[in-house]
Structure 1
């Protein structure tokens, strides 16, 4: 296994800062940081309905933060780039990330936008419904994100930030010779312009259907393969379609195959896709093949859905390996 050494260089970032740390890391994640407010109810609400529940909880979340935590806990040194507001929620998220030993030099604090907030309803079967107020996540300009000098083997992004910011990040990753991954969630039509800069594209069956314009029922491998090829813009790309309890399907320009998921009892599916993405990125950075990385990510997501919450539910490397070797 190669040894990855952290290096430091000083250089100006903007008028208010005089230095920036340059790190060599395994995984760089660009994405959202949110304060999650989670309600556990018997069922998800329907339009016009008021639901009562017995409790709620707050905690760290956001696709970027969740995926960074998953990658770090899976054993990859990880850097997170994103934005929070100059408020108590932002301070709490940064403190959490530092406790997780995630590099936060790329997280910008904005004085004119609040930290993102996600309201999440989880039903008795573990399914969820989420509303996000993006705040600082979509307010940060590209020139405030400290990607200059960033060294990582894998660059991972999602779509809860401005499309132009995500596109610039992926292009820089490719120019640096890294493997680039786009988790194309949520499904935003304008994001199709980014697909050419992603070596791997990760979607679930609903996102795949939205981007491809054709139904993609879980369990219909042929339909999923056909739809996935509609998203490819390069012959060397790989489409990874997450199917929840039905596993994962990998599609490239010549073949398609299915990776089964382990049977699990779902308690809370919030963050399961983020867990998959983060562990996949970590595994690839650690030298795993794509199929092996998918198998490991499936195992990790299966562990995560057996717990409540998003970032706090991400499994540790030893837990993943115990199931892998069991």
Structure 2
């Protein structure tokens, strides 16, 4: 069977992180406790999560160890087509190639994206280096004790994308027709809408993780196969206040998105799990009880695990949204037990072996603060 391709279209930014005891006031300077640099962006996180969650963990080597197959900078006018990349002998559940489609500047940060994504199994040949342009950079200030953060970011090279760049089916995979597209909204809304329409008219399934939330035109929903939002994004996309998104309205909100044309809808609820709906299934999946270390990237991991499981189920001739949501919940739960958005992303066999107990079923006792960090970190 020929390999399947999942195209992840989204933001690539380099995070410059300062950790201090508190955030400085206006006009104040403080000494930071720690400085970190990390590959970031919802696109990059989701791409790595999509790859790992459909491949078994390599044995005997660090999954992100450098390899000798890291490619040099791609020529954006000559897309590279090659077999799926396997870091350190990663084993397949389904023969899937995950291709990152993005844009970086011709600076030191841009070069790092190619290397880091390749080390994590992601085909980086869909990334374009834009001359005389900076890569997207995010300055992050984090309070050491509360983990509250403040972010300032630039779109960088991603801002050069136009609607015309995604008019053709091959544009969605940077030179090839993907079997599934996954996108977020860290890029211009009209560009995202064009991607979705192009995919829909070509019969290609599309996963939209509407983060950060920016309402799309109602006609766009008819081409969205999977619509993923958290509570705050569900509020914005449905025109509600945040306090109107609760246990009593999850079903109503999902039905509204289904009525607009989306085929499957999932509202992720952090410590409360996730609510899902499509034409035949509706339900709530509880989250798992784990020791939370860092919630950064949990939503992106959910998106990646859900997307890879959808394609795996589709190739097997079935579709059970509940099973995909449960698997994605497990993946997100594993992620938050480790420090760093990408370090904690689990491999397929780690998800299979996960056996933590379910969280408290009494939704009223679960605190929104359990998920606030991940919401603020990536919904910027």
- Relative to the length of structure 1, the TM-score reads 0.83
Alignment of 1:58-69 (within 5 A): 58-69=37-48
* Partner of residue 117, structure 1: 137
* Partner of residue 354, structure 2: 323
Where does structure 1 lack aligned partners over 5 or more consecutive residues?
Answer: 6-23
Alignment of 1:283-302 (within 5 A): 283-287=309-313, 289-302=320-333
Match of 1:252 among 278, 283, 294: 278
Specify the SS of the correspondent of 2:257: coil
Offset at 1:113?
2.3
* Partner of residue 8, structure 1: none
Alignment of 1:125-136 (within 5 A): 125-126=146-147, 128-136=149-157
* Partner of residue 289, structure 2: 263
Offset at 1:42?
4.8
Specify the SS of the correspondent of 1:230: helix
Match of 2:185 among 134, 138, 159: 159
Offset at 1:256?
3.2
Assess if the C-alpha contact under 8 Å between 1:30 and 1:156 holds in 2: yes
Assess if the C-alpha contact under 8 Å between 2:9 and 2:183 holds in 1: yes
User: In structure 1, what is the Cα distance between the partners aligned to 2:47 and 2:41?
Assistant: 10
| Alignment root-mean-square deviation, CA | 2.8
Deviations 1:109-137 (A, max 9, x none): 11132111122344435554433211111
User: In structure 1, what is the Cα distance between the partners aligned to 2:292 and 2:241?
Assistant: 25
* Partner of residue 187, structure 1: 213
Offset at 1:294?
0.9
- Relative to the length of structure 2, the TM-score reads 0.72
* Partner of residue 7, structure 2: 28
Match of 1:72 among 48, 51, 59: 51
* Partner of residue 94, structure 1: 114
Specify the SS of the correspondent of 1:150: coil
Offset at 1:179?
1.8
Where does structure 2 lack aligned partners over 5 or more consecutive residues?
Answer: 55-95, 314-318, 358-380
User: In structure 1, what is the Cα distance between the partners aligned to 2:40 and 2:177?
Assistant: 25
Q: Call closer, same or farther: CA 1:97–1:241 in 2, change over 3 Å.
A: same
Q: Call closer, same or farther: CA 1:45–1:137 in 2, change over 3 Å.
A: farther
Offset at 1:275?
0.7
What is the aligned residue count?
305
Assess if the C-alpha contact under 8 Å between 1:211 and 1:231 holds in 2: no
Assess if the C-alpha contact under 8 Å between 1:120 and 1:131 holds in 2: yes
